[in-house]
Structure 1
């Protein structure tokens, strides 16, 4: 693999700018250009040699461009995946900031930084390495591989495994059986090979028939560890609400277990970039936010089990513990936090349901996005998740079309995302439109779209369809003792029917109709369906857990 390049654009202070990137020269091809034209020539040379540009870093003034933002626009057309940074010289930082900061809101560049004033400016380098780490998640074949997958074909299961590993923060490589990597894994497999084979972290090679097989191979099943005692709190779901509950419960000394059916992070973990989460001015991917929270909870002693689908909750009464039943075993807990989140609604177009995993995807499918290079793709949905998916796909695809039934995006999507989408020339929005048919020979090739106002239909070529259609709760496993609304969301607090109130008083705000069972996040009726609000609810539920456990604890 060619060494990725960092292209610097510095006309007024080239020496200072180059010195600021001296530490990166060992692992990146750092090139200095003194104009936009020189940067375009450097890009042409890098790409022509089979390489790519990881980052463009420019002073706040570019001599041969109307503005640095116009220069970035030209460079973005050449390498859409590259991160773009303005490193303003300290003599111009305050003067140029007002005119340039607004460009961040429309995605014209990724960071406005002060050029290093000397060595070891770690605040500057922290921003640069964060952006390079984010760029690394767009590389189809990462240089550092934690998990090797051997398969002769890129089928739906293989793609789902890679997507799970991406969301867990484990870079993976896909190898044909006759490659060096493939033979390395096959040498560790006994008997006739059956694909896909997965080899990770020096564990035994696994023939995966599902993503769950991989999750259990990596992280174990509950019955494999010592869970023969009753834990203080069991959290069902590893999204933002469940992670926040785990961090705060474990940090306060409660024995805490988290059961997650898929990958840590839940639906939020598929977001390529969350820009409106408090404390992350440059944004953070859902995967990184989830993994940082997971590591934080682990530090306090929480235990995670992924790939664990909870089939049943048996409420405990009269001092008996609640019991969570999974295929791998049971977990007994004095209290339970339901944070199982929501799933995307099904499109319910049969020909397209048959192509799920081969061109049709529910959610952002980060791994599939990397395979859309040069293709025409469609995103169905008008929420923030759909907007974030469209922005990420635009780094690879030739065109991205957002399809919404409503007459405008502004009704359901945050303003910052609407602005970024409007600025991005690769993205178009088709309002009052829905998908009514589609097909292809073995994978998606075309879609039929209908105008909801006129009923007019048309057929368009399509290589990828990403469905982010809104929320349906994960509640099939919840017993009838726990009240839910007509849509299936869990009722808490004052929303609980009055016949379940005790002494004329409703349950606490995040408490359900079963004592000792609480609910937080998107699965709760009336929740805001935002990452920050889910995290807040997860943290807020812990005092209620303490109050419930208090009579039983010294």
Structure 2
């Protein structure tokens, strides 16, 4: 019984109704703990934490005898930072309470608020709860049902990279050491001389000396499975929000669509712990869930995904096939009538040798949400002032003893969405150090300390550090593109009227999202002038489809002499 995560219910006048509703749906998988009153709720939460129980959710009726749900839920993070917090509002007081509830949600006093059901099968009520419980189970509770196994020694950097990949893909897995009983059969299947880390995939295949590239290729199918002579209508390079949106719309409109991704499907957005300002998700959605759902949606329309190898070259076809672009990856090539570049950006490196030597051992480029649990009660630093850095800091604060955000600027407001700035300000375990950079760092096999430089005074201070997460801003991932694709001084791809006038054809610029190479388009963060936001990247991914159709129509007309 104690092994089940706890849902703590704090009731008032409707305590009986609330308990009955929760027990009817969640009593099998969760331990339902009902109490009455705010003080009793906090006391019970403390007792549960002291007893070693995992509290998945605290749901409190809005009006209590000794306070409100807002007052109670505001105090919960000091007791258990990872529990999801929900206010349950009786219908008859909902309208009068709405302004206070909205304000409390903006202050991050709670995760959401829902109306107490007034009858059976209130699926809107349960949808809100299930979304929160799903995210808790993934980020805190760990999946109970798994489809893959990873066997590695503790502290193995390659294994840490594989874990991060599987987390970003939304692929439930077990992490084992060679000494674990369940690891013996896996190592035996890997054969004599198998090298760690060893991964058993969802298909039963066993990978020795596994790498993230080998694992992702085994999940979605290797490039070796591409049939000879197949020419896609559109090849999409990159499976972040822009590439996924292009894949969904292209495949849904009947185009033969392939997607090439070197890393995890979802791109950098896939590592975001929670995106709260994406249209249609009022309670927010994690980057992993958004990428997972988009990939499934595109696949059901017929798009094919090939992962694990980077695109290294794109070029026009030979003279007898001038309209066919060739996208090359190591050991294979893809032929397509149009190409959409959606390769996104990469995080800039710190360029501090002592720090970069510890990548994978306390130092991470990107959010690395899989490592958040490893930072329990530790001192963590986040470098960066964009939304990704803010989301990483808020997520890490649920586990770490303290999180410090380091930014070069004088504040966060210029580069971070207002909702995230407010959330950071409302989280007592997060502090922001402005005009500060990392000057040095090191440790014995794992990050242990950092030296920080104040950009205004030049003063350098040394501090202990257990984790450093670097989200330093964008560098375009397009060094592999041919010289015929024009780029700006920072390396971002130019499109439409932004391309140099000497590249215009008969005085006309390329189409709005088309590059200087006809039939090759650029969308999302890789494109010069893009907004560097998930929603805008998705919008560009959808907007490119009319341009692709127009180019395909011109090819057909040319083929038939039109």
- Shorter-chain TM range is over 0.9
Report the equivalent of 1:28.
30
Q: Secondary structure of the equivalent of 1:390? A: helix
**Alpha-carbon distance in structure 2 between the residues aligned to 1:285 and 1:475:** 27
Q: Deviations over 1:410-437 (max 9, x none)?
A: 1111111010100100101111111101
Residue 141 (structure 1) shift = 3.9
Q: Secondary structure of the equivalent of 1:137? A: helix
Report the equivalent of 1:262.
263
Deviates more, 1:32-41 or 1:355-364: 32-41
Q: Deviations over 1:30-74 (max 9, x none)?
A: 111112222223223332332210001111123334x42221122
Deviates more, 1:315-324 or 1:253-262: 315-324
Q: Rate the CA distance shift 1:436–1:140 in 2: closer, same or farther, 3 A.
A: farther
Q: Secondary structure of the equivalent of 1:9? A: strand
Q: Secondary structure of the equivalent of 2:217? A: helix
Mapped contact 1:20–1:118 kept (Cα < 8 A)? no
Residue 553 (structure 1) shift = 4.3
Q: Secondary structure of the equivalent of 1:21? A: helix
**Alpha-carbon distance in structure 1 between the residues aligned to 2:429 and 2:404:** 8
Mapped contact 1:149–1:173 kept (Cα < 8 A)? yes
Give the one of 403, 422, 428 matched to 2:406: 403
Give the one of 389, 392, 402 matched to 2:392: 389
Report the equivalent of 1:308.
309
Q: Deviations over 1:295-320 (max 9, x none)?
A: 11011100011112111111237633
TM-score between the two structures when normalised by the length of structure 2:
0.96
Q: Rate the CA distance shift 1:188–1:49 in 2: closer, same or farther, 3 A.
A: farther
**Alpha-carbon distance in structure 2 between the residues aligned to 1:301 and 1:226:** 15
Report the equivalent of 1:52.
54
**Alpha-carbon distance in structure 2 between the residues aligned to 1:345 and 1:454:** 25
Q: Rate the CA distance shift 1:183–1:42 in 2: closer, same or farther, 3 A.
A: farther
TM-score between the two structures when normalised by the length of structure 1:
0.98
Give the one of 38, 44, 67 matched to 1:42: 44
Indicate yes or no: 2:463 matched with 1:443: no
**Alpha-carbon distance in structure 2 between the residues aligned to 1:133 and 1:112:** 17
Unaligned runs of 5+ in 1: none
Q: Secondary structure of the equivalent of 1:421? A: helix
Report the equivalent of 1:85.
86
Residue 501 (structure 1) shift = 0.5
Residue 328 (structure 1) shift = 3.5
Report the equivalent of 1:189.
190
Q: Deviations over 1:433-465 (max 9, x none)?
A: 111011111100011011100001101110000
Unaligned runs of 5+ in 2: 558-562
Residue 121 (structure 1) shift = 0.6
Mapped contact 2:190–2:208 kept (Cα < 8 A)? no
Q: Deviations over 1:279-332 (max 9, x none)?
A: 110000001001111111011100011112111111237633111111141100
Mapped contact 2:194–2:209 kept (Cα < 8 A)? no
Residue 227 (structure 1) shift = 4.9
Q: Superposition RMSD on alpha carbons, in Å?
A: 1.4
Mapped contact 1:106–1:417 kept (Cα < 8 A)? no
Report the equivalent of 1:62.
64
Indicate yes or no: 2:508 matched with 1:512: no
**Alpha-carbon distance in structure 1 between the residues aligned to 2:426 and 2:280:** 25
Indicate yes or no: 2:499 matched with 1:496: yes
Report the equivalent of 2:560.
none
Mapped contact 1:275–1:282 kept (Cα < 8 A)? yes
Q: Secondary structure of the equivalent of 2:371? A: helix
**Alpha-carbon distance in structure 2 between the residues aligned to 1:530 and 1:297:** 21
Task: Give 4+ residue runs of structure 1 displaced > 3 Å after superposition.
Answer: 316-320, 551-554
Give the one of 421, 425, 429 matched to 1:422: 425
Report the equivalent of 2:156.
155
Mapped contact 2:147–2:201 kept (Cα < 8 A)? yes
Residue 209 (structure 1) shift = 4.0
Deviates more, 1:429-438 or 1:1-10: 1-10
Indicate yes or no: 2:457 matched with 1:454: yes
Residue 117 (structure 1) shift = 1.1
Deviates more, 1:431-440 or 1:99-108: 99-108
**Alpha-carbon distance in structure 2 between the residues aligned to 1:312 and 1:135:** 41
**Alpha-carbon distance in structure 2 between the residues aligned to 1:71 and 1:227:** 63
**Alpha-carbon distance in structure 2 between the residues aligned to 1:372 and 1:547:** 51
Residue 386 (structure 1) shift = 0.5
Mapped contact 1:6–1:30 kept (Cα < 8 A)? yes
Residue 176 (structure 1) shift = 1.2
Q: Secondary structure of the equivalent of 2:213? A: helix
Q: Deviations over 1:371-405 (max 9, x none)?
A: 10000100010011110000000000010001111
Q: Rate the CA distance shift 1:35–1:508 in 2: closer, same or farther, 3 A.
A: same
Mapped contact 1:2–1:50 kept (Cα < 8 A)? no
Listed as ranges, the matches of 1:464-503 within 5 Å are 464-503=467-506
Q: Secondary structure of the equivalent of 1:138? A: helix
Q: How many residues align?
A: 553
Deviates more, 1:538-547 or 1:140-149: 140-149
Mapped contact 2:239–2:259 kept (Cα < 8 A)? yes
Q: Deviations over 1:501-532 (max 9, x none)?
A: 01111111100001100000000000000000
Report the equivalent of 2:125.
124
Listed as ranges, the matches of 1:352-391 within 5 Å are 352-391=355-394
